[in-house]
Amino acid sequence: MTDWLRRRLNGLPPPVRQRVRRLWLSLVPIGQCAIAAGAAWWIAVNIFGHPQPFFAPIAAVVSLGLSLGKRWRRSVELVAGVTIGILIGDLLVSQIGSGTWQIMLVVALAMAVAVFLDNGPLIPMQAASSGVLVATLLPPGGVGGFHRAIDALIGGVVGMIIVALFPVNPAHRARRDAAGLLATMRDSARTLVSGLREGDADVVASALESARGTQEAINEMRADMRGGREVSTISPLYWNARERLARISATADPIDNAVRNFRIIARRALGMTQRGEPLRPEIVDILADVGEAFEVLREMMIAKPGEEPDQADAARVLRTVARKAKAELVSDSTLSETAVMAELRSMLIDMLMIAGLRRSSAMATLR
């Protein structure tokens, strides 16, 4: 059944396929938000007896969101922002009434207090929106304001409980993001090699453009790695995944650095190709090996524990490539060719670190 669905998905037009995959990957967070919203409302109504606790489901949904990262912080910021907005709104509206200038004053004071207390973006927005609700739609003062603050707290707590009881697999997204980036680098390296061998500046430029377009994916990878570690801390179901998450998260900086080094290599290669300056065939061959090494790293990243290739397998492949990247290859080369080799060796160090080596060990491999 899974293979059939995958074939059907791959048969869709690329824009539709991308949207379907995005929806598929978001199904668990969407389900978490839906369950948390309903549970928060039920608790506020049936246990605490609040007649219209709409802050409870709102707080639950905002504290979770679709992003896995910083859910603890979002919950705290949300409750704090709602509380600040409610207290200031209740205090002012009960004394000065409601109207245009009163709303302006409530929003200004609520956001000012929130900014003074914390530099996060969520607290000021929640403080302002809660203050506006009090100033326009909700009766101020008395027990109602206290109930609204309690509702926000209920929503935030319920959100965290849902994360603990129905968690997203903390390693899945992180591995998927890293593997996707490594696949992009594999393809970019192959394109770069093809362009260099053909002397085609347009092909080399397309490799550079592909590498330059990875920053959003890098940011998403980092966010999902942080979120995965947070889930493995909150949920007892994934406490045993902490060590694995730590290993996966340790690849974030080396992957980022490898992509940056590849961009420099591609940019210098583009300049050489445009000037009609050939790059030594031995270096181009090493770049071809680098492309295959990126594929091994991708397979390593998506392999389950105990499957191959593992970090040791990837490190063996990269050591073989590193032995070819000798500084002597450019002992009598131009400045541009020497610079390409220097960045190539630096990128190999990053790739060895993705495979689990410490930086000192990776550097020793290239001495």
String of DSSP letters for 295-356: HHHHHHHHSPTT-SS-HHHHHHHHHHHHHH--GGGGTT--HHHHHHHHHHHHHHHHHHHHTT
- pLDDT tens readout for residues 259-278: 999 999 999 999 999 999 98
Is pLDDT of 333 > 70?
Answer: yes
pTM reported for the whole predicted model: 0.70
Q: What is the dihedral of CA 148, 149, 155, 156, to 10 degrees?
A: 160
Q: Do residues 236 and 167 make contact, with C-beta atoms less than 8 angstroms apart? A: no
Among candidate residues 271, 279, 272, the one with its CA nearest the CA of residue 197: 279
Q: What is the DSSP letter of 44?
A: I
Annotated domain spans of the chain? 29-165, 170-365
Mean pLDDT highest for which of 46-60, 84-98, 235-249?
46-60
**Sign of the dihedral defined by the CA atoms of residues 300, 305, 306, 312, in that order:** positive
d(CA 89, CA 114): 13
What mean pLDDT value characterizes the chain? 85
Among candidate residues 118, 145, 116, the one with its CA nearest the CA of residue 53: 145
- pLDDT tens readout for residues 209-249: 999 999 988 998 888 888 777 777 777 767 777 777 788 88
Looking at residue 81, what is its pLDDT? 82
Q: Residue 154 is which amino acid?
A: I
Looking at residue 264, what is its pLDDT? 96
Instruction: Express as a percent the part of the chain with pLDDT over 70.
Output: 89
Annotation: CATH topology of 170-365: Methane Monooxygenase Hydroxylase; Chain G, domain 1 (1.20.58)
d(CA 304, CA 318): 21
Mean pLDDT highest for which of 159-168, 287-296, 357-366?
287-296
Q: Do residues 152 and 78 make contact, with C-beta atoms less than 8 angstroms apart? A: yes
Is pLDDT of 41 > 50?
Answer: yes
Instruction: Express as a percent the part of the chain with pLDDT over 90.
Output: 40
3-state helix, strand, coil in the chain (%, to 5): 80, 0, 20
Confidence tier at 1 by pLDDT (50, 70, 90): very low
Among candidate residues 231, 230, 235, 192, the one with its CA nearest the CA of residue 340: 192
